[in-house]
């Protein structure tokens, strides 16, 4: 015997009586209990039960209309109904129980702009554990950088496919040659968009991994090419004999305001003993190495880093692109958000298969 | 015995006498012959000969200074000297002869904003064959879409690594079920950002590959979800019972002016018997299938497509990202540039290892 629900649009819930409490809530984690045997379902939950044939219909309290899945869905009850329903159905089909991230569905809902609390497999809304705090958006929904939080972002594309992103606050650190001495006043030439150091000590590249050697010279010490960023950092510390302000000005000419932001991030990473190198080939700002003992024994870089101002607004499509590329080259995508005073927030975004 | 050259800055060439013609021009493809035994070298070519130790010095005609590689390079003779030198040296080290793309270095230089004519391995400037028409830019140089041409783009990043892109004009076509009949006036509901067709004929998805079925229904014909783009296209042809203008307006609400551009490209591809589906997971606009007989026997999509207005300006970093991702998933990146009248230019960009 299938049941019917009653849609109380003012309260925003669908009430179901009879043995709904045992069948839907206790054993399958839908809704929350009301007095007597009744349970209250969020429209999403009611839609799912209709979709699966567990509820025969939902009767609209106000009009008396009997709504099947099609009619109920067409009314789009609640905000972002379509995309939220698709994610709800997907996670259910993967064997998770999940509830709207609100009381009284869950006793202690996750904070922030969270749509669902997803429970560990085998657990439900009353067990007190959340596996994922989940936010659902369509692929056209902008995400301001200030909205990022430790949570899972489910993006529903225009074909109703869902990509899950694990967003985590991050604190990069490393152990790359913290005590290696920088040289003092090496001769360097500032070219249009890069710097050349003609006779650097070998350790500048081989141990502390600054620059890139130019190949095929007939000298003992390889000529090193530095990016403007590396040159600005080294000039500030007197390691090369260029005026730091001149180098920074050149950086600004070539790259605009991005240069100062990237320099702030470069500097912070070096001070955390992480080695940043250019990420151009990956379409990122940096690739970073946490533990460089020597270039000879260099492992693979672990992070791809993209630098944004803190008022940046992410388009989900660009997130998909960055994260997918990072995944394809076995690295983690990290975003460094820089505020006006040079303060930096770090966020990793990784693909997640729930 | 190594030779010296004379730098005639007004003419912009370095002249070398003695047996330079035989040693550098005839056997190794540098420069072009002058009267007598002399040859004229472009600054790039002279710099390379200095770099390799083949020229001992270049004497500045005007001042009498004797310049070694370092001094000559520091003067940055010619535009974009640094990045052009790095590419010149890289291609030489890969076994190519190449010349400035100008007379009298080559008899019939490639047209357009081309820096070098690169000859097939084993050939030189007098053999009349060009392997690559090569343009060199730094990673910070913007490339307006109107500047795209059939050529190779060499992008030098801030660490002096070079990425080569093969840019080609393109003409997508396919053979996907050109005669399959579309249905007539299928019932459909317009939701916030997508369309649902409740009881479509099976062929709409299975043969002509529109939409995406929603899983897990108890009906014979699977409910289909359509993107707003697909729905606009089908509504225009009367295949679904929605007003096309209403769907297009919704598309514009959700996606802004991008919607009309994407719809123009979608329509053109369908009319060329190519099937476009969403490219969201790859960070692109579309992935396309040229030969869809049925969804059951679906191969992999061949192209990733990104739609831009024709006044778009490419940043090399975004090119690197798009092309690298496409390469990683074994697809070709294509850009569709749409003008104000809906006309479309197609360009593929692929990584090249010379």
Report d(CA A135, CA B321) in Å as an integer: 27
CB-nearest partner of A191 from B82, B225, B328: B82
Say if B170 is an interface residue toward chain A (CB within 8 Å): no
Burial class of residue B79 in the structure, from the number of CB atoms within 10 Å of its CB (0-12 exposed, 13-18 middle, 19+ buried): exposed
Q: B188 φ, ψ to 5°?
A: -145, 150
Nearest C-alpha neighbor of A151 from the set A139, A134, A164? A134
Residues from chain B that touch A284, judged by Cβ atoms under 8 A, are 321
Q: Comparing A166 with A37, which gets the higher pLDDT?
A: A166
Report d(CA A314, CA A334) in Å as an integer: 13
Residue of B nearest to A52 (CA): B217
CA A314 to chain centre: 10
Report d(CA A29, CA A45) in Å as an integer: 10
- Say yes or no for a CB contact (<8 Å) between A320 and B283: yes
Q: How many CB pairs (< 8 A) connect A and B?
A: 167
Q: What is the mean pLDDT of the segment spanning A90-115?
A: 92
Q: Is A289 a catalytic residue?
A: yes
Nearest CA-CA distance, residue A247 and chain B, Å: 14
* Confidence (pLDDT) at A260: 96
Q: Is pLDDT of A113 > 70?
A: yes
* Confidence (pLDDT) at B111: 83
Q: Is pLDDT of A332 > 60?
A: yes
* Confidence (pLDDT) at B221: 61
What the block records as the tokens of B292 is 């869809």
Q: Comparing A66 with B220, which gets the higher pLDDT?
A: A66
Domain limits, chain B: 3-138, 178-256
Say if B108 is an interface residue toward chain A (CB within 8 Å): no
Report d(CA A119, CA A29) in Å as an integer: 10
Report d(CA B275, CA B208) in Å as an integer: 8
Say if A192 is an interface residue toward chain B (CB within 8 Å): yes
DSSP track, B92-129: HHTT--EEESSTTTSSSPPPSS--EEEPPTT--TTS--
Residue of B nearest to A51 (CA): B217
Kindly give the parts of chain B with pLDDT less than 70.
Answer: 1, 178-179, 216-221
In the 8-state DSSP scheme, what is residue B24?
I
- Say yes or no for a CB contact (<8 Å) between B191 and A81: yes
3-state SS, residue B3 = strand
- Say yes or no for a CB contact (<8 Å) between A73 and B227: no
What the block records as the tokens of A118 is 């997803």
* Confidence (pLDDT) at A221: 61
Residues from chain A that touch B306, judged by Cβ atoms under 8 A, are none
Predicted model pTM: 0.91
Share of chain A above pLDDT 90, in %: 78
Q: Which residue has the tokens 């990290």?
A: A334
- Say yes or no for a CB contact (<8 Å) between B83 and A227: no
Nearest C-alpha neighbor of A315 from the set B256, B283, B210, B199? B283
Q: Is B25 a catalytic residue?
A: no
CA B53 to chain centre: 36
* Confidence (pLDDT) at A179: 66
Q: What is the pLDDT of residues A140-165, one digit of tens each?
A: 999 999 999 999 999 999 999 999 99
Judge: domain A3-138, CATH 3.40.1170.20.
yes
Local confidence band at A104 (pLDDT 50, 70, 90 cut-offs): very high
Nearest CA-CA distance, residue B107 and chain A, Å: 31
Residue count of chain B: 354
Q: What is the pLDDT of residues B75-107, one digit of tens each?
A: 887 779 999 999 999 999 999 999 999 999 998
**Assembly ipTM:** 0.88
Residue of A nearest to B70 (CA): A198
Nearest C-alpha neighbor of B305 from the set B266, B255, B259? B266
Local confidence band at A43 (pLDDT 50, 70, 90 cut-offs): very high
Active-site choice (B210, B300, B308, B327): B300
Nearest CA-CA distance, residue B310 and chain A, Å: 20
Q: Is B300 a catalytic residue?
A: yes
* Confidence (pLDDT) at A112: 85
Residue of B nearest to A198 (CA): B70
Say if A315 is an interface residue toward chain B (CB within 8 Å): no
* Confidence (pLDDT) at B294: 87
Report d(CA B306, CA B308) in Å as an integer: 7
Say if B301 is an interface residue toward chain A (CB within 8 Å): no
Q: What is the pLDDT of residues A7-30, one digit of tens each?
A: 998 888 999 998 889 999 998 999
Say if B211 is an interface residue toward chain A (CB within 8 Å): yes
Q: What is the mean pLDDT of the segment spanning A116-137?
A: 93
Residues from chain B that touch A212, judged by Cβ atoms under 8 A, are 159-161
Residues from chain A that touch B254, judged by Cβ atoms under 8 A, are 138, 140
Residues with Cβ within 8 Å of A328's Cβ and at least 6 positions away in sequence, in order, are B325, B328, B329
Burial class of residue A297 in the structure, from the number of CB atoms within 10 Å of its CB (0-12 exposed, 13-18 middle, 19+ buried): exposed
Report d(CA B189, CA B12) in Å as an integer: 69
Residue of B nearest to A83 (CA): B193
Say if A51 is an interface residue toward chain B (CB within 8 Å): yes
Decide: B166 and B152 in contact? Cβ < 8 Å.
Answer: yes
Q: B3-138 and B178-256: same fold?
A: yes
Residue of A nearest to B165 (CA): A281
Which is it for strands B332-338 and B303-309: parallel, antiparallel or unpaired? parallel
CA A226 to chain centre: 31
Q: Which CATH superfamily is domain B178-256 in?
A: tRNA intron endonuclease, N-terminal domain (3.40.1170.20)
Query: Rounded to 10 degrees, what is the CA torsion of A216, A217, A221, A227?
Result: -70
Best to test chain B binding among A67, A84, A86, A280 (most B CBs inside 10 Å): A280
* Confidence (pLDDT) at A295: 87
Nearest C-alpha neighbor of A344 from the set A289, A301, A307? A307
Decide: B137 and B83 in contact? Cβ < 8 Å.
Answer: yes
3-state SS, residue B211 = coil
What the block records as the tokens of B192 is 């916030």
Q: What is the mean pLDDT of the segment spanning A92-118?
A: 92
Nearest C-alpha neighbor of B314 from the set B75, B118, B147? B147
* Confidence (pLDDT) at B196: 94
Q: What is the pLDDT of residues A177-186, one digit of tens each?
A: 766 789 999 9
Report d(CA A298, CA A82) in Å as an integer: 48
Measured between alpha carbons, how far is residue B95 from residues B15, B29, B85, B90, B136 in Å? 24, 12, 16, 9, 18
Instruction: Count CA within 13 A, CB hemisphere, residue A242.
Output: 25
Say if B153 is an interface residue toward chain A (CB within 8 Å): no
Report d(CA B4, CA B59) in Å as an integer: 7
Decide: A158 and B227 in contact? Cβ < 8 Å.
Answer: yes
């Amino acid at each position: 015997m299938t049941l019917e629900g009653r849609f109380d649009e003012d309260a925003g819930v669908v009430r179901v009586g009879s043995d709904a409490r045992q069948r839907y809530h206790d054993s399958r984690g839908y809704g929350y209990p009301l007095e007597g045997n009744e349970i209250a379902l969020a429209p999403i939950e009611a839609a799912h039960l209709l979709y699966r044939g567990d509820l025969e219909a939902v009767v609209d309290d106000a009009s008396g209309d009997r709504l099947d899945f099609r009619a109920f869905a067409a009314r789009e009850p609640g905000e972002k109904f379509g995309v939220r329903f698709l994610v709800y159905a997907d996670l259910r089909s993967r064997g998770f129980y999940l509830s709207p991230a609100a009381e009284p569905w869950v006793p202690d809902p996750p904070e922030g702009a969270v749509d669902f609390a997803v429970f560990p497999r085998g657990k439900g809304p009353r067990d007190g554990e959340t596996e994922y705090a989940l936010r659902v958006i369509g692929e056209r929904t902008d995400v301001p950088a200030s909205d990022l939080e430790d949570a899972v972002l489910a993006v529903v594309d225009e074909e109703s496919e869902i990509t899950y992103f694990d967003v985590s606050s991050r604190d990069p650190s490393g152990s790359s040659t913290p005590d290696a001495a920088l040289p003092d006043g090496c001769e360097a030439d500032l070219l249009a968009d890069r710097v050349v150091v003609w006779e650097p000590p070998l350790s500048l590249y081989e141990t502390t991994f600054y620059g890139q050697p130019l190949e095929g010279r007939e000298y003992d010490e390889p000529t090193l090419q530095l990016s403007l960023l590396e040159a600005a950092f080294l000039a500030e510390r007197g390691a090369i004999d260029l005026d730091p302000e001149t180098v920074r000005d050149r950086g600004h000419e070539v790259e605009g305001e991005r240069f100062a932001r990237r320099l702030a991030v470069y500097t912070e990473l070096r001070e955390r003993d992480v080695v940043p190198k250019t990420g151009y080939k990956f379409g990122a700002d940096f690739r970073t190495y946490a533990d460089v003992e020597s270039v000879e024994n260099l492992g693979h870089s672990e992070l791809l880093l993209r630098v944004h101002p803190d008022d940046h607004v992410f388009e989900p499509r660009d997130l998909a692109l960055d994260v997918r590329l990072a995944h394809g080259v076995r690295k983690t995508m990290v975003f460094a958000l820089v505020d006006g005073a040079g303060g930096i927030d770090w966020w990793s975004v990784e693909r997640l298969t729930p």
